[in-house]
Amino acid sequence: MWKVINASVIGSYHLDSGTPCQDKSIVAVATGENGDPYLVCLAADGAGSAANGGRGAELACTTGMAFLTSAIQDARRFHTDLIGELIARIRSAIFQEARKATHSGRDYACTFIGALLGSSMSIFFQIGDGAVVVSKNNTYGVVFWPDAGPYANMTHFITDDDAFANLHVETSDTCFDGMAIFSDGLQYLALVFKQQIPHVPFFHPMLETLGKIPRGNIEDLKTKLVRFLESRGVNERTDDDKTLILAAKAEE
């Protein structure tokens, strides 16, 4: 039903400073009790000011994926507060590791953004910046505008005390053709901030190619995505780590 590729690459700033990539992303397909497939896509961006932000992002993605795939397979857990429970599980995992390492939860601060796409229902969720863009019949829209917080160069994190107050959740019964999730390292290339709309030329060629490419060539396309994100042209526009998840309805 879906073709999907994802990549998280280090930014030039982290390369120059000798620090690791703090972006993480993960995708998987889970099957519900009724046999319906669900595509799960998650991305997280560790705070640059957090000593273990990259580890926090990794925990958010792996814990989140384990919880969601398990919940999809058990209809009793697939309830209206699914995303609230998801955030609680991730926070618990992060704070548990922080305590064992005698760190604070803030040391693992990260944004968190994701989507769960089914055949007749989709759920989108986000804490912090970055964005989800969806398309239907070549019409593109942003699900949540990047949440930059009250001050310049600030945002909200899943480890914040007010994380649940800054959690955005949207459910839709629209059957979308394509979707992209990206971290804040790409948002100034991918969005038109003045009009608060997606920059369609950024997304359309990639999603169109993904939809048409034979499944056997998807790994090659993922390699090209990594090269694009690491390219000089992109790095001249942003020195931050970059995550991009692309999902397109299969046309074959």
Which pLDDT tens digit goes with each residue over 103-162? 999 999 999 999 999 888 899 999 999 999 999 999 999 999 998 765 556 799 999 999
Q: What is the pLDDT of residues 189-247, one digit of tens each?
A: 999 999 999 999 999 999 999 999 998 899 999 999 999 999 999 999 999 999 999 99
Q: From CA 213, how far away is CA 206, in angstroms rounded? A: 11
Q: From CA 104, how far away is CA 118, in angstroms rounded? A: 37
- pLDDT winner (highest mean) among 48-52, 70-74, 242-246: 242-246
Q: Give me the pLDDT at residue 32, please.
A: 83
Q: Give me the pLDDT at residue 121, please.
A: 86
Which fold, 2-249? Phosphatase 2c; domain 1 (3.60.40)
Q: Does residue 252 register a pLDDT over 60?
A: no
Q: Does residue 19 register a pLDDT over 90?
A: no
Q: At 179, is the secondary structure helix, strand, or coil?
A: strand
Domain map of the chain by residue range?
2-249
Among the residue ranges 63-67, 76-80, 176-180, 239-243, the one predicted with the least confidence is: 76-80
Question: Would you list the DSSP string of 158-175?
Answer: TTSTTTGGG-EEEEE---
Neighbours of 251 (CB within 10 A): 11
Q: Give me the pLDDT at residue 197, please.
A: 96
Its pTM stands at 0.94
